[in-house]
Amino acid sequence: MLSERMLTTVVRAMTDKTLTLHPVPEGALPDPEEGRPYTLYVHVPFCERLCPYCSFNRFPYREQRAHDYFQALRQEMRMLADQGYDFESVYVGGGTPTVDIDELCETIDLARDLFHVKEVNSETNPNHLIPEYLDKLKGRIQRLSVGVQSFDDGLLRQMDRYEKYGSGEEIFERIGQAAPYFESLNVDMIFNFPTQTEDILISDCEKIALCGCHQTTFSPLYQSHATTRKMEQVLGKMDYDKERRFYHILDEILAGGENPFFERRTLWTFNRLDENHERKQHLEVDEYAVSYEECVGIGSGSITHLGDNLFVNTFNLEEYGELVRAGATPLLGKTDLPRRDLMRYKFLLQLYSLRFDKHEFERDFGVSVERGLPVEMAFMRANGAFATDNADELTLTPAGRYLTVVLYRQYLAGLNNLREQARAKLPGDERDLLFGDGTEK
């Protein structure tokens, strides 16, 4: 598809040019703005298995190293409270946040003590959907997102997840048992694996409809400079020509037809409907990016978005702990987003949420979206992207949803490249992305 290839090339070039790390002369985050809502992202960089497609900062789990890290993480949280920050929402990602369940619970409890937290979201892996963990998470976490990726045993083996996290059938059963513990149990899936067939994708969608989860995300597989070689060795070469077809298949199965199982919440997030195919009002807990444009990140390798800057914490675990214990903000660098790129980010984020508010854009930037982003608007219109295009709003056609998937996929890949710049500053073997069982070199 020519439009997809054009978008991939353009957005890749744009992110390579603009997402570049620079020193932070002031050495600290700016103070919070009064009245502005923020979300807190908490990064836990430890895993029992290191997946070949993941470019986030992560290390093999070691108990003492994790214990020291969580202590520093809670200290960084206190430093934000002392600076005047407050958070309504907390998202704990990784890595695998539940890799040390007691440390995670202590960290969540501290966040609730320090801030006016209304909801906590956390990621986990299928092997932690057991009563020992679920009992501790119940009440502490409102939305739990479990990384399943696929129920197909062949794909799970290819990703080195089968032995550690269980078969597709075992994972399916655990999801049904875990769902009652949370307001929202999300199952995180990936589509467009090189060896994934239409039949495998359809089977995954059918299992999602039956497994009892409240919500699912089906994000496209994307790669960055550092992950490309290892991904191709383990999974095979990416085929973007089938990505469009796969996206429309899953979109139609989950949210299409007269009696859908789910409703679209974002481009690739779907909320389950009740037995009358109506929205379940208590399932409004969602991805933090949907409700909060400004996010403060803590932990080694986290990224903070404030105003026109992205701030990146050091990826070095030892340096991270030393800086925080000394009372210093553990920043490695920042990138300044030009005004046009901020416009593009706003455009992308709102389209990701399926509705673009033209008036809000003009309030933020002082110009209409047509004047601010003339090339982007012309491209989307020429490709039939908008179902609604009036003075108030933009909404997306099926073709427009896929084009925006491409935009968002490449933006996320660009963030991975930013992480790679940070990883390049690590010492020795830590610069290499690790995969498989997490054995350190």
**Per-residue pLDDT reduced to its tens digit, 187-210:** 999 999 999 999 999 999 999 999
Q: Does a structural domain hold residue 199?
A: yes
- pLDDT score recorded for residue 365: 95
> What DSSP state is assigned to residue 301?
T
| φ, ψ of residue 49 in degrees (nearest 5) | -130, 140
Contact 143, 119 (CB under 8 A): yes
Q: Does a structural domain hold residue 190?
A: yes
Task: Decide if pLDDT at 21 tops 80.
Answer: no
Per-residue pLDDT tens for 404-438?
A: 998 888 777 777 666 777 677 766 655 554 444 44
Residue with tokens 């933009």, as numbered in its chain:
394
Residues above pLDDT 90, as percent of the chain: 62
Sheet holding 355-357, edge to edge: 355-357, 393-396, 386-389
pTM of the model: 0.88
Per-residue pLDDT tens for 40-70?
A: 999 999 988 776 666 677 788 899 999 999 9
Q: Does a structural domain hold residue 16?
A: no
Looking at per-residue confidence, does 183 or 22 come out higher? Answer: 183
Contact 186, 143 (CB under 8 A): yes
Q: Does a structural domain hold residue 370?
A: no
Distance CA 329, CA 299 (A): 10
Among the listed residues 134, 129, 62, the one whose alpha carbon sits nearest the alpha carbon of residue 100 = 62
Residues 6+ apart with CB under 8 A from 66: 46, 99, 100, 103
Mean local confidence (pLDDT), 80-105: 95
Q: Does a structural domain hold residue 362?
A: no
- pLDDT score recorded for residue 436: 45
Looking at per-residue confidence, does 282 or 297 come out higher? Answer: 297
Task: Decide if pLDDT at 231 tops 70.
Answer: no
Among the listed residues 287, 280, 208, 188, the one whose alpha carbon sits nearest the alpha carbon of residue 249 = 208
- pLDDT score recorded for residue 437: 44
Q: Does a structural domain hold residue 70?
A: yes
- pLDDT score recorded for residue 121: 96
Residue 342: both structure tokens together: 């901020």
430: domain CATH number? 3.80.30.20
Q: Is the dihedral of CA 214, 220, 224, 226 positive or negative?
A: positive
Q: Is the dihedral of CA 352, 355, 357, 358 positive or negative?
A: positive
Distance CA 332, CA 315 (A): 8
Mean local confidence (pLDDT), 263-271: 94
Mean local confidence (pLDDT), 273-277: 72
Amino acid at 211: C
pLDDT band at 441 (very low <50, low <70, confident <90, very high): very low
Mean local confidence (pLDDT), 362-371: 96
Residue 251: both structure tokens together: 């979109």
Domain boundaries, position 198: 31-292+426-435
3-state secondary structure of 16: helix
What angle (nearest 5°) sits at the alpha carbon of residue 154, between those of residues 150 and 160? 80
Q: Does a structural domain hold residue 419?
A: no
Distance CA 220, CA 268 (A): 9
Mean local confidence (pLDDT), 266-275: 90
3-state secondary structure of 103: helix
Mean pLDDT over the full length of the chain: 86
Contact 91, 314 (CB under 8 A): no
- pLDDT score recorded for residue 345: 85
Distance CA 425, CA 27 (A): 17
Least confident of 171-185, 227-241, 244-258: 227-241
Residues 6+ apart with CB under 8 A from 383: 3, 399, 400, 403
Distance CA 333, CA 187 (A): 33
The total of structural domains in the chain comes to 1
- pLDDT score recorded for residue 123: 96
Residues 6+ apart with CB under 8 A from 406: 4, 7, 8, 11, 243
Q: Does a structural domain hold residue 390?
A: no
- pLDDT score recorded for residue 413: 72
Distance CA 144, CA 20 (A): 32
Per-residue pLDDT tens for 339-358?
A: 888 898 889 889 999 999 99
Mean local confidence (pLDDT), 23-27: 75
